[in-house]
Chain A
Amino acid sequence: MIPTWCMAFPDGHETGSYLALDMGGTNLRVCEVTLTSEKGEFEIIQSKYRMPEELKTGSADELWGYVADCLQQFIEYHHEDEKLDHLPLGFTFSYPVTQDAIDHGVLQRWTKGFDIAGVEGEDVVPQFNRALEERHLPIKLVALVNDTTGTMIASAYTDTDMKVGCIFGTGCNAAYMEDCGSIPKLAHLNLDKDLPMAINCEWGAFDNEHAVLPRTPYDVIIDKESPRPGQQSFEKMIAGLYLGEIFRLVLLDLHKGNECTMFADQDVSKLDKPYSLDASFLAAIEEDRFENLTDTADLFAAKLGISPTKPELELIRRLAELIATRAARLTAVGVSAICRHKKWDNVHVGADGSVFTKYPHFKIRQAQALKEILGWEGKFGKGRGDPIEVLPAEDGSGVGAALIAALTVKRARAGQLAGIRDCDSLVEIGRKMK
């Protein structure tokens, strides 16, 4: 439950040009988002750059230097010979940070294969700024953004019913808009109790105490074998990263146990490899339209070198359904909890991530579970027109990050300076934009 210092929803009338930067595990994306005078409309130009592998284990100077070089290339290409004056930037930095302000973020630790000395435990913003200054780039970092918050804000720009942003992908997390008066841990700051504050829930860590989640022996193994046992308990049951692994563990257990015959006399060495199956493998099984599951048989032969019998294929299909359905139903628990906490009966939830956008039946299973939890009447729970409806989100790390930059400039101009470190620069940018 991390306050993100994103303290407003867009009203659709934001205008101006903003940069958005998204530093992921494989790519670096730079966008220029122009919010037009048409309500809720925007134009976007973007470039994608590869994150070189060697950079991920190099030095901090090399990392920030590369990021700044990409920004410079983008600016030179799209604004050749133009005299620019401090383009505001929203930076989607998808690593765990704690924020005392929107332009501040102390990296807890690297994830996604990054291991760069001198960044963990430090505020990444001054390091990033130094690289910009060395290159005399006309860019001002305004907001460090979490992808869930970006997803919520981008969705709210075009749909004012959007109150929650979720990522159902390799990982799983959500953000929603709280009011400052309901955040006791910020009480000492004496913020206006009616001001909104986006909260990054970091709900992957829900029930790390194992009080209520119905964990199976397979979930216990996943946790024990993971790099960080005891953490991200909720995420380990629902996120795309783990769905294929749960599936693999069950099949291997059935093969090795003596309660049934499974893959008798077959070479299971490929199935023996941890994390060799991802969520798309389960999705493909569930997409098999043939009664005799021929696609699934082909998939097992090609990927695992196993030829399952017909009854084994039936078990495989049912297992994929069970694991993915449990995941979808548990995500509904999180969504329902936010809405119940806020006493929201009719809201939209913006969702992104590969599991949400690509996994078959995910949305309807989630809607059905929401119906069961919230006791909706019969006609609801189909995933369309429901009181609480989870909808595909707008581009959170691009448009969302740009919007959060815009909203931050806007509130600085209006004199709402809580949670902004470099107030003077923002007020100055805001003054020049109008």
Chain B
Amino acid sequence: MVLGARKPPSRKGSFADMPTDLKTQIDKLEELFLVPTEKLKEISDHFVSELKRGLSKEGGTIVRSSSVPHCKTTRY
């Protein structure tokens, strides 16, 4: 079972015979795409303030206005 963003334990060691150039790229991708706990909390804080702002008279990003049309959810 894959937990969070961690490497699945069952596949540990499978990078053993990885060429160094690809291993370096994997490290870079992890740096780019992993979102650590502290960052999640920071985004969540900002999200809460945006929800409040969207309900306010002034509005915010997640408020509909003629200058900011919204794409609505679609499903496949």
A171-B74, A173-B72, A372-B4 known, 17 other contacts, Cβ within 8 Å: A1-B64, A95-B72, A96-B70, A108-B69, A108-B70, A111-B72, A169-B76, A185-B63, A204-B71, A212-B42, A212-B46, A232-B71, A311-B17, A312-B22, A318-B26, A326-B33, A369-B35
Q: A280 to nearest B CB, angstroms?
A: 9
Within 8 A of B (CB), among A141-184: 146-148, 167, 169-173, 178, 182-184
Q: B13 to nearest A CB, angstroms?
A: 10
Q: In chain A, what residue has the closest Cβ to B18?
A: A311
Q: In chain A, what residue has the closest Cβ to B28?
A: A259
**Residues of chain B lying within 8 A (CB to CB) of residue A361:** 1-2
**Residues of chain B lying within 8 A (CB to CB) of residue A321:** 2, 5, 7-8
Complex-state Cα separation, A352 to B68, whole angstroms: 26
Q: A244 to nearest B CB, angstroms?
A: 11
Task: Count A interface residues, CB 8 Å.
Answer: 92
**Residues of chain B lying within 8 A (CB to CB) of residue A208:** 61, 68
Q: Interface-forming stretch among A12-20, A38-46, A333-341, A402-410?
A: A333-341
Complex-state Cα separation, A216 to B46, whole angstroms: 19
Complex-state Cα separation, A24 to B40, whole angstroms: 33
Are A260 and B75 touching (Cβ within 8 A)? no
Q: Can you list 15 contacts pairing A with B, beta carbon distance less than 8 Å?
A: A209-B61, A235-B71, A254-B25, A315-B25, A321-B2, A322-B29, A322-B30, A325-B34, A330-B43, A333-B40, A334-B47, A352-B75, A354-B75, A365-B3, A372-B4
Q: B57 to nearest A CB, angstroms?
A: 5
Complex-state Cα separation, A336 to B48, whole angstroms: 9
**Residues of chain B lying within 8 A (CB to CB) of residue A187:** 57
Within 8 A of B (CB), among A237-280: 239-241, 250, 254, 259-262, 278
Binary interface encoding of chain B residues 36-69 relative to chain A, with 1 for a CB under 8 A from any of its CBs, else 0? 0101111110111011101111011111100011
Q: A265 to nearest B CB, angstroms?
A: 16
**Residues of chain B lying within 8 A (CB to CB) of residue A132:** none
Task: Count B interface residues, CB 8 Å.
Answer: 56
- B residues near A (Cβ < 8 Å) are 1-5, 7-8, 11, 14-15, 17-19, 21-22, 24-26, 29-30, 32-35, 37, 39-44, 46-48, 50-52, 54-57, 59-64, 68-76
**Residues of chain A lying within 8 A (CB to CB) of residue B48:** 337, 340-341
- A94 contacts the other chain (CB 8 A): yes
Are B74 and A112 touching (Cβ within 8 A)? yes
Q: In chain B, what residue has the closest Cβ to A293?
A: B14
CB contact under 8 A between A203 and B62, given known A185-B55, A364-B2? yes
Complex-state Cα separation, A120 to B37, whole angstroms: 42
Are A365 and B5 touching (Cβ within 8 A)? yes
CB contact under 8 A between A184 and B56, given known A262-B22, A326-B5, A373-B44? yes
- A residues near B (Cβ < 8 Å) are 1-2, 24-25, 94-96, 98, 108-109, 111-112, 146-148, 167, 169-173, 178, 182-185, 187, 199, 201-209, 211-214, 216, 218, 228, 231-232, 235, 239-241, 250, 254, 259-262, 278, 286, 291, 310-312, 314-315, 317-319, 321-323, 325-326, 329-330, 332-334, 336-338, 340-341, 352-354, 361, 364-365, 368-369, 372-373
Are A96 and B75 touching (Cβ within 8 A)? no
Are B74 and A94 touching (Cβ within 8 A)? yes
Taking a contact as CB atoms closer than 8 A, the residue among B14, B37, B59, B73 that contacts A291 in the complex is: B14
Are B18 and A314 touching (Cβ within 8 A)? yes
Are A326 and B35 touching (Cβ within 8 A)? yes
Are A333 and B47 touching (Cβ within 8 A)? yes
Taking a contact as CB atoms closer than 8 A, the residue among A171, A212, A337, A373 that contacts B73 in the complex is: A171
Q: B68 to nearest A CB, angstroms?
A: 7
Q: B53 to nearest A CB, angstroms?
A: 8
Are A96 and B72 touching (Cβ within 8 A)? yes
Complex-state Cα separation, A98 to B24, whole angstroms: 49
CB contact under 8 A between A25 and B55, given known A250-B29, A325-B4? no
**Residues of chain B lying within 8 A (CB to CB) of residue A241:** 74
Which has the most chain A C-beta neighbours within 10 Å: B8, B19, B40?
B40
CB contact under 8 A between A205 and B43, given known A182-B55, A326-B34? no
**Residues of chain B lying within 8 A (CB to CB) of residue A1:** 51, 54-55, 59-60, 62-64
**Residues of chain A lying within 8 A (CB to CB) of residue B14:** 291, 314
Taking a contact as CB atoms closer than 8 A, the residue among B32, B37, B74 that contacts A25 in the complex is: B74
Complex-state Cα separation, A336 to B46, whole angstroms: 11
Q: Report the 4 A-B pairs with minimum CB-CB distance, sorted nearest first.
A: A1-B54, A337-B47, A171-B73, A260-B21
